[in-house]
Structure 1
Amino acid sequence: MISSFNADLRARLAKVDASIAELNSRLRPFEDARKQLQSQLDGIVYPVATLPPEITSNIFLHCLLPSPELSSPLKDHPLMSRAPLVFLRVCKMWRDIALSTPRLWVDLHFNFVELPDEMDGDELKKRIADWFGRAGACPLSFSVRGFMEMEAFASDAISATLRSYAPQLQSICLQLETAYFEDFEDFTGPFPMLQNLAIALPFLDGEVDNQMLNFQNTFSNAPRLSQLSFTEEATPSMFLYSFDALSKVTCDSCPPDDFLFVVQSASSLRELACSIESDGMYVFPDSDVITHDHLHTLHLMPNCFFDSLRLLRSPALQNLRLSENITNPDENRDFLAFLAHSSASLRSFSASCRITMLTTDWFAIFMPGLTELELNRQDRVFLRDFFQRLDRTENPGFLPHLQSLTFRGCTFSMTAPMLSALSSRTIADDQTSILKSFRHIWPTGVYTIPNDSTAASFRGLVERGMTIHVGGPVD
């Protein structure tokens, strides 16, 4: 009985083995085909993999986002979906190239409000150390943003980063509440490489006693510091720093005393952008007149206190940008007094605001050497007078070197005298320049299509070498 049962099992097993053998024989051609296809695939060399590592590295560098500025929208902390972290996930070759390209890792930005919930202090410090560790000895850029919701450990991580990498930091951008600067109280660098420092103090309400600013000396030892930027209630007097190498200062809410302090101390200043705030009670003494022989670019930002300009003399000024409306006689007087002492070398004047008392005499008397002019929201009476004087056949001495002319937010249609004035500017002699660019940028949502005659005149000007834009905003 047992013998019969064993025989039956052996027969069934033999049948299963036969079925397996039959299936294997059917699979063998597919396995052979698979091996052949895999061999062909393995033999393919992707073009990107044939590039020399130094070219791939250079391509990686062009994929980096621009360094953030205080005025730009908030950005996330470093993400795996963006350069340079994304290069670590593609293949081993790209990972090796990315990790061996120090310049990919010189710029680190953190928005601490957006940190992952699972992040803690040790992990944050490790991420920063790993990132900057890949940069080797390259100069570094560190940018931080954080507000009331920022985790407490973030302040310690910021302080640790500044202390650890102070010798390599070339650019620092900090947008923090004053409380997060407390860890810097006993730290004064040095910062031997620091050239660009930007500080914002959001939610700072009211005046601050300097005794509360126990972090004033943090950046005092930065001998190469050349660019300073203060915004969101931060002002120059809140920090001490070296003035010797300062070439550019930006401050959007500069108290009068700070303004005087900056222009008196930074003797090499070349670019100044500021809004000088006052409660209307401050009066600048005439004895404090300051001549700045190197200042060539000045941007007067919104809410600027024009009385301060009476003190400033800028004989080398070349570029003047005005973002504050001039609407009353006192402001007009103070601004013209400044121009009278500072406009002989002026080459570019841009007004992104309205100047109610603007006349063509401004340019004939104070800015005769302009090569670039941009005006905003001027009325039709001024524009008619301006184009009348612009006509070179009638007034060859008016703005003889003008090469670029832009009107923004001005709702006027081109008339025959205006077109004639532009046409006269396509011809020049040895003492004058050709008008190379004319832009008439209408307000958003407002635009009148030129008639056939005007369009034909524009085409003629283009054929004679002038670049023309008439229409809506282009930038």
Structure 2
Amino acid sequence: MSTNAAIRAEVASLTSSISHYKKLLDDMQTRLGVLQSQLDSVVYPVSTLPPEMMSEIFTHCLPTERWMDMVNTSEAPLLLMHVCRTWRQITISTPNLWTTFDVNVAGIYNYFPEIAQSWLARAREYPLSVKISGVLWDISDTGGYSGRLFRDLPTAFSENPFFRAEHRCENPSGDGRVFPGIPSTSEAVHPPYQNGPRP
């Protein structure tokens, strides 16, 4: 067989194979569409509950451990937002789910203000409890991690007339108001850890 004939034969074989697999793909896509339609038509019992009842159920899903970092997509309320569109809408519109802002700032300080403002907006007029943990160092360094946090936190919370904070943090300087721009019911300033590594 000449070279040209061999090439034509291979082209014909590949063309036939492509047509075969295209048909298989079309069949699978059709079957997938049928199965997806069947799933979409399923009505789960929980989906028949009124939003008010769903909101009440969701409040019992919040973590109970006080050390839990709530800015965590594997825990309520953020977890509930990722189940489906309906659950997301109910979660966002349930202020009770957002009245505790318990967060470790170590991994989120670059976008902490946006998270805090969003959380506060969802809590609406409900009283908000805030707990912020993490190793904080020189807050006078406005360009550093701790300095940016202490600069941005008042902006995130101080405009809400319902917010009152109980400040509890490890202040390296050991004196002065920690968050002077935030209305406070009480404040506890603790000395820094002596053996913690500096960032």
TM-score by length of 2: 0.67
Q: In the alignment, which residue of structure 2 is the partner of 1:61?
A: 59
Unaligned runs of 5+ in 1: 69-73, 192-196, 205-475
| Bigger shift: residues 97-106 or 172-181 | 172-181
When residues 97 and 183 of structure 1 are mapped into structure 2, their CA distance, relative to the original with a 3 A threshold, is closer
Q: How does 1:21-36 map to 2 (within 5 A)?
A: 33-36=31-34
Q: In the alignment, which residue of structure 1 is the partner of 2:151?
A: 156
**Relative contact order (C-alpha < 8 Å, sep 6+): which is higher?**
2
Aligned partners of 2:76, 2:127: CA distance in 1, in Å? 19
Task: Tell me by how many angstroms 1:84 deviates.
Answer: 0.8
Unaligned runs of 5+ in 2: 139-145, 193-199
Aligned partners of 2:112, 2:28: CA distance in 1, in Å? 52
Structure with greater helix percent? 2
User: Which of 20, 35, 49 pairs up with 1:51?
Assistant: 49
The answer to whether the aligner puts 1:119 opposite 2:109 as a matched pair is yes
Q: How many residue pairs get matched?
A: 179
When residues 14 and 77 of structure 1 are mapped into structure 2, their CA distance, relative to the original with a 3 A threshold, is closer
The percentage of aligned residue pairs carrying the same residue is: 30
Q: How does 1:110-149 map to 2 (within 5 A)?
A: 110-112=103-105, 115-116=106-107, 119-120=109-110, 123-145=111-133, 148-149=136-137
The answer to whether the 8 A contact 1:106-1:140 is kept is yes
Q: How does 1:369-448 map to 2 (within 5 A)?
A: none
User: Which of 151, 163, 173 pairs up with 1:169?
Assistant: 163
Which residue type is aligned with residue 150 of structure 2? S
Structure with greater strand percent? 1
Task: Tell me by how many angstroms 1:202 deviates.
Answer: 1.8
The answer to whether the 8 A contact 2:73-2:79 is kept is yes
The DSSP-based 3-state class of the residue aligned with 2:177 is helix
The answer to whether the aligner puts 1:84 opposite 2:69 as a matched pair is no
What are the superposed Cα offsets for residues 311-343 of structure 1, whole Å, 9 maximum, x if unpaired?
Answer: xxxxxxxxxxxxxxxxxxxxxxxxxxxxxxxxx
Which residue type is aligned with residue 162 of structure 2? Q
Aligned partners of 1:90, 1:144: CA distance in 2, in Å? 27
Q: In the alignment, which residue of structure 2 is the partner of 1:102?
A: 95
The answer to whether the 8 A contact 1:173-1:199 is kept is yes
When residues 25 and 101 of structure 1 are mapped into structure 2, their CA distance, relative to the original with a 3 A threshold, is closer
When residues 108 and 29 of structure 1 are mapped into structure 2, their CA distance, relative to the original with a 3 A threshold, is closer
Which residue type is aligned with residue 159 of structure 1? P
Q: In the alignment, which residue of structure 2 is the partner of 1:200?
A: 188
Q: How does 1:255-404 map to 2 (within 5 A)?
A: none
Aligned CA RMSD, in angstroms, stands at 3.7
TM-score by length of 1: 0.32
